[in-house]
Amino acid sequence: MNLETSRSNYESPPLLEANVCADPAEQLRSWLDEAYAHAQVPEPNAMSLATVGANGRPSLRIVLLRGLDDRGLSFYTSYFSRKGQEIAQNARVAATFFWPQMHRQVRVEGTVAQLSDDESDAYFASRPRGHQLSAWASEQSEPVERREILAERMAHFDERFAGEEVPRPHSWGGYLISPEYVEFWQGQANRLHDRLVYERRNGAWEVRRLQP
C-alpha cells in the first residue's frame, strides 16, 4: 500500500441546483433510496456521528439512521454512553454519510435532543429480542473485566423477561438531530467535485454552491 499514490477517479453526472429538492430531508431521502437500490452499498443508513464533551475533545463513531422526516434525523443509543453524556453537555453535533460506490457524501450539522418516550418505546418494541436484551445487559461505554460477564448478564435478563415482552430501559432511547447545515457532495473528475449546501435563513432553506 502506498498512501501517497492511492487514489480513486470519480466519473459521475454533475450535481446541479436545478436537479435537487428544495428541502434537504427530501434530497437526503432521495439519495438514501438510490443507495439502498445500489447492490454494492452496505448499510446505507450508517452515519458517522461527532459529539463534543465539556472538555472540548471531539469523539466520533458510526450509528445507524433510524428515522428521517421534516424534523430531522433520528438514531437510538444509551443515554449513559459516551455520546449520550457528551450530548447532555453540548447539544451541537455533526453527522456524515459516505457511499464511496456512488461517489457521494452528505454532511449534516445541527443540534440534538431526546425523542419522546412514546417514540423511543415504539422503536424499542420493533427491535429483535436479542437487541432488546443487550440494551439491558450492556452498560454502554463502561469498562468490563471480561466478555463472559456480558454473556452472563444477557442470560440473566433473558431469564428475567422470559415469556413476556422486554420493556425499554429508562437509560436507553432516541435522539433527533435538527439540521442547520446540510452539504451534498458528488465526486467529479480531476477533483472538481460538486458541493451544494443547504442552510436555514429566515426560516427557509437556501442552497449555495461551494468550491471543491
Q: Residue 133 domain-assigned?
A: no
Grid cell of 169 as nine digits? 430501559
Mean pLDDT of 118-132: 98
Question: What domain count does the chain have?
Answer: 1
Taking the C-alpha atoms of residue 64 and residue 170, their distance in angstroms, rounded to an integer, is 20
Is the overall model pTM greater than 0.85, yes or no?
Answer: yes
- pLDDT the model gives residue 50: 98
Terminal alpha carbon distance of the chain: 26
Tell me, what DSSP letter sits at residue 12?
A: -
Q: Residue 56 domain-assigned?
A: yes
Mean pLDDT of 160-164: 97
Q: Which of 92, 191, 208, 209 is catalytic?
A: 191
Assess contact for 93 and 87: CB atoms under 8 A. Answer: yes
Q: Residue 146 domain-assigned?
A: no
Residue % of the chain over a pLDDT of 70: 100
- pLDDT the model gives residue 79: 97
- pLDDT the model gives residue 103: 96
> Does pLDDT of 3 surpass 90?
no
Q: How confident is the model at residue 9 (pLDDT cuts 50, 70, 90)?
A: confident
User: Tell me: the pLDDT tens digits for 25-52?
Assistant: 999 999 999 999 998 999 999 999 999 9
Q: How confident is the model at residue 124 (pLDDT cuts 50, 70, 90)?
A: very high
- pLDDT the model gives residue 8: 85
User: Tell me: the pLDDT tens digits for 48-67?
Assistant: 999 999 999 999 999 999 99
Q: Residue 11 domain-assigned?
A: no
- Considering Cα of 172, then 174, then 180, then 182, what sign does the dihedral take? positive
- pLDDT the model gives residue 142: 86
Taking the C-alpha atoms of residue 34 and residue 21, their distance in angstroms, rounded to an integer, is 14
Q: Residue 140 domain-assigned?
A: no
- pLDDT the model gives residue 43: 96
Helix (H, G, I), strand (E, B) or coil at 40: coil
- pLDDT the model gives residue 65: 98
Q: Quote the domain boundaries for residue 179.
A: 17-126+169-209
Mean pLDDT of 182-186: 98
Taking the C-alpha atoms of residue 161 and residue 9, their distance in angstroms, rounded to an integer, is 53
Q: Residue 32 domain-assigned?
A: yes
Respond yes or no: is residue 168 known to be catalytic: no
Q: What is the DSSP string of 143-188?
A: --S-HHHHHHHHHHHHHHTTTSPPPPPTTEEEEEEEEEEEEEEE--
Q: For residues 86 and 203, which has the higher predicted lDDT (pLDDT)?
A: 86
Nearest to 10 by CA among 185, 211, 209, 190: 190
Q: Residue 53 domain-assigned?
A: yes
Q: Residue 183 domain-assigned?
A: yes
Specify the CATH number for the domain of residue 58: 2.30.110.10
Assess contact for 173 and 158: CB atoms under 8 A. Answer: no
- pLDDT the model gives residue 6: 87
